[in-house]
Amino acid sequence: MLSVFDQRHIFVVFNPGSGGNFLAGVINNILNSNLISLDISATGSSHTVLRDKSTGTDYLSFGTLMEEHGYFKSAEERESFYVENIKKTYTSENSKPEVIWSHDFTNIPLYRKYFKNARILVINNTTHDEQLASLFMLAKKTILDKNCLLPMSRDTWEIVIKRWSTNCVKQLSQFMNNDDAKKMIDDRFNDEYKDALYYATVRMILFSYGMLHLVEDVPEQKNIYEYVIYPVTQTLGKRLDYYVDNECTVLPYSYLATGDYELLAEKISAVLERSLNNDELSYIRSSFDRYRLSQDQLLLSNPKSYYKNIRAAVLNKVQ
């Protein structure tokens, strides 16, 4: 029997909003020979591989969000915490190859260190359109989706919501009074407030990433999308590509916008380290088509125009 550290796990690492949960679901079903239809929400979200993230016990991932670094005094303490809990949780009898995902690129060296037989799939967002699309997806599918299945502990979620509330009020207050802005925040799932909150949330995210100048006539900022961001200390780390080694399988996020099913199948085959049979290829195709059609097509094809339409609709309404 193989230990949990010797299993051929597949790790999926990606920036929030980049559809890695969908990929994890497809790969997980193929790995387990269970080609069932994936759940896809009305907002286009497909969180089917949650892995006890809501209880903070997805130890194999070594952590999902950068916010979780704040729970530890040092990187060494964090690493030790996960290794010890993996050893306690998994035995040779109960371990098997698993699909694990994370938003934390700093985990990649840890996967290499402890899981010598694992494969790593990275979704990269190198163009401005890929970056914008992923951030718009993030806003649509998490904070403003009341049916979102949270891949994090309640404590971490409260930190995220508190930060969002404070910054979103600042954005809303630019085109309404402060009391109305707070009213919207307190009732964020009200359909009447949906468009204004979405616009304010997206604008807040773009400002925090230094990307607002890509869609509005404002002074250019430093785009930090491709850097590790530590939210608790509000500091920047290394570039994301620093952690992506030559053995990683890399899938450009643009595959979704361009409808490149062949590229998706190629990358899934690479991380499984085998050829795909006809049933599996058909499953990937049908899952991909359903997932892609559930997204806003203008967001995928022209995120800048998508943003400008949202902005105009909201601002015209309040004038």
**Which residues, 6+ apart, have CB-to-CB distance to 9 below 8 Å?**
60, 97, 98, 99, 100, 115, 117, 118, 119
pLDDT digits (tens, 9 = 90+) for 234-251: 899 999 999 999 999 999
Per-residue confidence (pLDDT) for residue 51, from 0 to 100 = 64
Which residue has 């934390």 as its token pair? 104
Which residue has 């085998």 as its token pair? 274
pLDDT band for position 52 (50/70/90)?
confident
- Domain residue ranges in the chain: 10-128+238-296, 129-236+300-318
pLDDT digits (tens, 9 = 90+) for 78-97: 999 999 999 999 987 888 99
CATH of the structural domain 10-128+238-296, one choice from 2.40.50, 3.40.50, 2.60.40, 2.120.10: 3.40.50
110 has pLDDT over 80: yes
Percent of the chain having pLDDT more than 90? 73
Per-residue confidence (pLDDT) for residue 50, from 0 to 100 = 65
Task: Tell me the pLDDT of the chain averaged across its residues.
Answer: 92
CA atoms within 13 A on the CB side of 137: 31
Q: Which amino acid is at 285?
A: R
pLDDT digits (tens, 9 = 90+) for 118-176: 999 999 999 999 999 999 999 988 888 777 777 777 788 888 888 889 999 999 999 98
